[in-house]
Amino acid sequence: AVTRVYDKVALIGLGLIAGSMAHAIRDGGLAGRVTGYARSQATRDTAREIGLCEVCDTAALAVAGADLVVLAVPVGAMAEVMAEIAPHLAPGATITDVGSVKQSVIDAVAPCLPARVHFIPGHPLAGTEHSGPRAGFASLFRNRWWLLTPLPDTDPEALARLDRLITAMGAKTDRMDAPHHDLVLAVTSHAPHLIAYTMVGVADHLRRVSGEEVIQYSAAGFRDFTRIAASDPTMWRDVFLHNKEATLDILGRFTEELFVLQRAIRMGDGQQLHDYFTRTRAIRRGII
Ligand code: NAD
């Protein structure tokens, strides 16, 4: 087909992101074959049952002869998966990942990289609070950013080809260096997730408000704000363990701001609250 970008794409990890890629690649005829592997038998069985891709029982089989390999496992599992597949990668293959943190994945993958294999780290800024092989859908990446954090020696042709696949799945690509990516995402994604988790924790600890009341009377605040607290615990544990410095930096600033507002409330300083909300509303209205 004219649109085919790769002959064989191998997806390692068969969750929301890999599943969405499988759908988008197959719908668009973007690869000749799509193979997949996940560590758990139950995940492989489900993926087979729903016909997600050609499911293999070992990672070695999945990546054999693949010209694109996608690591779509939690960030903390990248090193282990890379060590497992490294001896089986085809010369000239491109390997990319979709991890939410970039520098730690580069540190985990680069040392195991065989000669003549191109490594191009990436991160689609697209997701839902759902996980697992049934969660994926073809339009997940449409009009969403997909950040690439190529290394200085990245092969431009391999990069252009991966870019073609990503844009054919409907996403917009941009490039950034890994440490900057990790700081930007700490602000836009990682810290907000942590704060949402704690808000649910607070509601859970209240004795005078029951769990049923929290659910039943979940107003716009709690409902909208905590949707992301239903996300996969393993994935998010790994994000915080692997983006420690940037997350702690942002959380330190967050608690400072919170104390400023807490003090304004205690002192009855309506002017300060009003000024703060006016400024933040203007910023928030700029986000579609
Ligand atoms: P998911 O929980 O839906 O799926 C993860 C998959 O990896 C599962 O199939 C699991 O069986 C498999 N797995 C776990 N450890 C493994 C191992 N050692 N070997 C082989 N398979 C293993 O997760 P997801 O949402 O698809 O996330 C995958 C990656 O994408 C993560 O690195 C995450 O940080 C990143 N990401 C997630 C989102 C999101 O919103 N969910 C968005 C962008 C990027």
- How far, in Å, are 84, 164, 248, 257 from residue 5 at the CA level? 26, 7, 40, 47
Q: Is it the case that residue 1 has pLDDT exceeding 70?
A: no
Higher pLDDT among residues 222 and 96, named by residue: 96
CB 122 near ligand 1, within 6 Å? no
Residues above pLDDT 90, as percent of the chain: 86
Residue 134: helix, strand or coil by DSSP? coil
Tokens encoding 211:
């769990």
Give pLDDT, residue 165: 98
Over range 34-50, report the average pLDDT.
98
The pLDDT tens digits for 43-94 are 999 999 999 999 999 999 999 999 999 999 999 999 999 999 999 999 999 9
Q: How far apart, in whole angstroms, are the C-alpha atoms of residue 109 and residue 178?
A: 14
Tell whether 86 and 163 lie within a shared domain: yes
| CA-closest residue to ligand 1 atom 42 | 127
Is 121 inside any structural domain?
yes
Domain match, 166 and 186 both:
no
Check whether 157 has a pLDDT greater than 90.
Answer: yes
Query: Does residue 40's CB lie within 6 angstroms of at least one atom of ligand 1?
Result: yes
Q: Are residues 240 and 135 in the same domain?
A: no
List pLDDT tens digits, range 100-152: 999 999 999 999 999 999 999 999 999 998 999 999 999 999 999 999 999 99
Distance 98 CA to ligand 1 centre (A): 8
Range of the domain at 214: 180-285
CB 94 within 8 A of CB 68: yes
| Encoded tokens for 238 | 């790994």
**Which residue in 153, 168, 197 sits closest to 9, CA to CA?**
168
Q: Verify that 83 and 121 share a domain, yes or no.
A: yes
- Do 55 and 44 form a contact (C-beta atoms < 8 A)? yes
44 and 124 in a single domain? The answer is yes
- Predicted local distance difference test score (pLDDT) of residue 2: 60
Note whether 195 and 165 are same-domain residues. Answer: no
Query: Confidence band (pLDDT; 50, 70, 90) for 277?
Result: very high
Q: Return the ligand 1 atom nearest residue 17 CA.
A: 26
Measured in Å, residue 13 CA sits from the centre of ligand 1 at 6
The verdict on the CB of residue 48 being under 6 Å from ligand 1 is no
The answer to whether the CB of 94 falls within 8 A of the CB of 121 is: no
Query: What is the ipTM, given to two decimal places?
Result: 0.98
Nearest CA to ligand 1 atom 41: 127
Last residue of a domain, one of 118, 142, 176: 176
Pair (160, 19) in one structural domain: yes
Residue 233 domain-assigned (yes or no): yes
Number of domains in the chain: 2
Is 39's C-beta closer than 6 angstroms to any atom of ligand 1? yes
Each residue of 160-219: pLDDT tens digit?
A: 999 999 999 999 999 999 999 999 999 999 999 999 999 998 888 887 888 888 888 887
Are 246 and 201 part of one and the same domain?
A: yes
Angle at 70 between CA 64 and CA 73, to 5 degrees: 110
Q: Is the pLDDT of residue 39 over 70?
A: yes
Cβ-count burial 90-106 (b if 16+ within 10 Å, e if not):
beebbbbbbbbbbbbbb
The verdict on the CB of residue 16 being under 6 Å from ligand 1 is: yes
Which residue lies with its CA nearest to atom 31 of ligand 1?
Answer: 74
Q: Note whether 138 and 224 are same-domain residues.
A: no
The answer for residues whose C-beta is within 8 angstroms of residue 267's C-beta and 6 or more apart is none
**Is the CB of 38 within 6 Å of ligand 1?**
yes
**pLDDT number for residue 112:** 92
- Which of 176, 209, 239 is the endpoint of a domain? 176
DSSP codes of every residue in 61-122? HHHTT-SEEEE-S-GGGHHHHHHHHGGGPPTT-EEEE--S-SHHHHHHHGGGPPTT-EEEEE
Is the same domain home to 161 and 218? no
- Is 1 among the domain residues? no
Same domain, 40 and 126: yes
Whether 131 and 184 share a structural domain: no
* pLDDT at site 219: 75
Six-digit token string for 156: 């431009």
> What are phi and psi for residue 173, nearest 5 degrees?
-100, 155
Pair 37, 10: CB distance under 8 Å:
yes
Distances (CA, A) of 188 to 27, 96, 157, 181, 285: 31, 23, 31, 10, 15
Q: Is 174 near ligand 1, meaning CB less than 6 Å away?
A: no
